[in-house]
Structure 1
Amino acid sequence: MSGRVLVVDDNKVIRQLIRVNLELEGFEVVTAGDGAECLDVVHQVRPDVVTLDVVMPRLDGLRTAARLRSDPRTAHLPIAIVSACSRCDVEGGERIGVDAFLGKPFEPTELVRLVRRLMPARGPRAADARASTPRC
């Protein structure tokens, strides 16, 4: 296994698309339908990377990222926003400490590259991922 990814998106088709592409590359994938579910399962799943959509019911991606950053148990987790995000979303995510952004629609190879780059990102590599943020 290349690592565990928690994929959070309210769109089941997008969750499955991301899951399949990452599993084909050897990642273990766990999914959640929104930010509230993400916060419920993140401590049991203990992912290496979290991908978040921005627009979701109950708890959106940016508020979920902020909650993950404020919890000492998940503050270190690499977080990627995978969403049709606006400049405002990107700026908000950067303030929160999101590590990377990938705009929808995306190429599967871009997604895999982004997750690989963040995977062991405990320290300096997270800053490298942030410096080369993909289009959004």
Structure 2
Amino acid sequence: MPGASGRVLVVDDNKVIRQLIRVNLELEGLEVVTAADGAECLEVVHQVRPDVVTLDVVMPRLDGLRTAARLRSDPRTRELPLAIISACTPYEVDAGLDVGVDAFLAKPFEPAELVRVVRRLIEHGREGRQAGGEADSDTDPGPGRRVPREQVIGAGAVGGDEETAGHGGG
């Protein structure tokens, strides 16, 4: 999409959910590329070069949490903002935080909240790159990159921002 203000890689095994996310983000001027599972995500992420990746948790071949862990372990994608879009059980939130997920959005989600979370992550990612947080740093996670455990309130929680989710994480 020419003139898009960011590129998002949407990873979900449910075609309807992928399309729902795609349409809502494209209506906001974002470019969207999709993948059906974590394995496909890892195959295309370096060609796509997204500003943000959204991940479902339960997917065939490679689930969202293991995909996030692999993205974090690769120096080329270590600083890439990651959002889990799933049922967001307490286990998923804890496991996501442990591997370095930046935001969580509970299904079913409000389209406006989806856009808000993705835009914040794009901004945080750009701020991190401008401050020298490029992916070639093997030890420093970069400024503002991890969500402190106590700041994960529920859907849409992004470190350093106001509470955005009063409707829980289930």
Q: Under TM normalisation by the shorter chain, which class is it?
A: over 0.9
Q: Does the Cα contact within 8 Å between 2:10 and 2:18 map onto a contact in 1?
A: yes
Q: Equivalent pairs: percent with the same residue?
A: 74
Q: 114-123 or 42-51, which moves further after superposition?
A: 114-123
Aligned to 2:159: 130
What's the offset of the Cα at 1:121?
A: 1.6
Q: 111-120 or 123-132, which moves further after superposition?
A: 123-132
Aligned to 2:14: 11
TM value normalised by structure 1:
0.94
- Matches of 1:48 and 1:85, distance apart in 2: 22
| Structure of larger gyration radius | 2
What's the offset of the Cα at 1:2?
A: 1.1
Q: Does the Cα contact within 8 Å between 1:48 and 1:77 map onto a contact in 2?
A: yes
From 61, 69, 88, the equivalent of 1:58 is 61
Superposition map of 1:1-136 within 5 A:
1-122=4-125, 123=128, 124-127=143-146, 129-131=158-160, 132=163, 134=165, 135-136=168-169
Flag the structure with higher helix content.
Answer: 1
What's the offset of the Cα at 1:126?
A: 4.0
- Matches of 1:33 and 1:51, distance apart in 2: 12
In angstroms, what is the RMSD of aligned CA positions?
A: 1.5
Secondary structure at the aligned position of 1:109 is classed as helix
Aligned length: 136
Any gaps of 5 or more consecutive residues in structure 1?
A: none
TM value normalised by structure 2:
0.76
